[in-house]
Amino acid sequence: MTIQITVRLDDDLVQAVDALVAEGRARSRASVVELALERHLRRELATRDVEILRGDPPGTDLDALAAWTQQLPASSQVD
DSSP collapsed to 3 states, 20-32: HHHCCCCCCHHHH
pLDDT at 22: 98
Residue type, 74: A
Query: What residue ranges of the chain have pLDDT lower than 50?
Result: 76-77
Work out the mean pLDDT of the chain and round it to a whole number: 85
Q: Is the pTM of this model over 0.75?
A: no
pLDDT at 31: 96
pLDDT at 10: 97
How many Å apart are CA 55 and CA 35, to the nearest integer?
30
Element (H, E) at 51: helix 29-54
pLDDT at 4: 93
Residue type, 18: D
pLDDT at 57: 56
